[in-house]
Chains A and B, each alone.
Chain A
Amino acid sequence: MNEEKKGILENNAKEYFSSGNDELKKGKYNSAVVLFFKSLIALVDVYILKKTGVAPSSHNNRFRTLQQKFPEIYNLVDKDFPFYQDSYIQSLTKELAEVIQDDAKIMAEKAEIKL
């Protein structure tokens, strides 16, 4: 069951990351930010699943687990989350998309996944 979940999360992380790259190339920075953040979150879930045996069931659950058990990753996600939340009402920049892209890469290394 966990292997199946892990497989889905990994595939999603890769798909979001690849689509994020496509949107970045097209100059669609809001879309790129959302996709890179989704990739980041899928990678975080893989990491949590590997370390605890349980995948988070909601944003709240994910944040709580990170805050309690993996503060360094919590800090990374907490830093980027506001941009994902505000992406529908703000005009996001290329520089920001690249920052979130970079954070997804950092998370991929931690989760030992090749994007």
Chain B
Amino acid sequence: MMQKLWLKKLKLNYSENVLDIIQFGSSVLEESEPNDIDIAVIFYQIPLKQQLEERQDIKNQIKKQVELPIHIESFDFYSFFDKGNFARQGILFNGKSLINEKNFAENFGLIPKLRISYILRNLKKKDKVRFNYLLSGKQGNYGLLKKYGGELLYPGFIETLPENENIFLKEMKKITDKLSIERVFVPK
């Protein structure tokens, strides 16, 4: 189940060396069944030994406040952008700050968005209608866009929040498999 730690106002003590503490990975996605919670701590540049000790302290504090195991990583800005950091894309796109409750990308003046395009052309009319209901709702029931947040940019193209990827794709695939996604950043 999704674990919205960034909305829980966890009481965390951390030093001024910490720029941000970010939750990322499958635990931030709607409709997920994570085995653990991925946390990244971004430090200003400090010695690695101190970085690891401080991150371990943060891990221990979070561990006391959640049930799932914590998988913690730490970076400074040099190591964060290193090509060997395979988590950087996920942290940048899906990361949620436990400090300010915002997207991590907002530190860079960017808001991450998920864009899904779909083709209904060869569907039966009743399936096209079903698809429309799925997105926009029917008779007072919310559709995906209103329920989870999102908008129709133009026919065949919607935009929503990164954390909705699983739920949107799962529901849309029940009607059509002609879907493609784009992960984009828009200026704040």
Write the residues of chain A forming the contact surface with B, with a CB cutoff of 8 angstroms.
75, 78-80, 82, 89-91, 93, 95-96, 99, 102
The total number of A-B Cβ pairs within 8 Å is 23
Q: Given B60, B72, B86, which contacts A75 in the complex, CB threshold below 8 Å?
A: B60
Is B56 in contact with A99, judged by CB distance below 8 angstroms? no
Main secondary structure of the interface of A (DSSP, over half): helix
- Chain B residues near A96: list those with CB within 8 A: 48
CA distance A78 to B55 in the complex (A): 11
Main secondary structure of the interface of B (DSSP, over half): helix
Known: A90-B84, A91-B84. A78 touches B49 (CB 8 A): no
A-B contact pairs, 23 of them (CB 8 A): A75-B56, A75-B60, A78-B56, A78-B59, A79-B52, A79-B53, A79-B55, A79-B56, A80-B52, A82-B71, A82-B72, A82-B73, A89-B86, A90-B84, A91-B84, A93-B48, A95-B47, A95-B48, A96-B48, A99-B48, A99-B49, A99-B52, A102-B49
Closest chain B residue to A94, Cβ basis: B48
- Chain A residues near B53: list those with CB within 8 A: 79
Known: A82-B73, A91-B84. 17 other contacts (CB 8 A): A75-B56, A75-B60, A78-B56, A78-B59, A79-B53, A79-B55, A79-B56, A80-B52, A89-B86, A90-B84, A93-B48, A95-B47, A95-B48, A99-B48, A99-B49, A99-B52, A102-B49
CB distance from A85 to the nearest CB of B (A): 10
CB distance from B71 to the nearest CB of A (A): 7
- Chain B residues near A99: list those with CB within 8 A: 48-49, 52
- Chain A residues near B86: list those with CB within 8 A: 89
CA distance A2 to B55 in the complex (A): 36
- Chain A residues near B60: list those with CB within 8 A: 75
Which 8 A/B pairs are nearest by Cβ-Cβ distance?
A: A79-B56, A91-B84, A95-B48, A99-B49, A79-B52, A99-B48, A90-B84, A75-B56
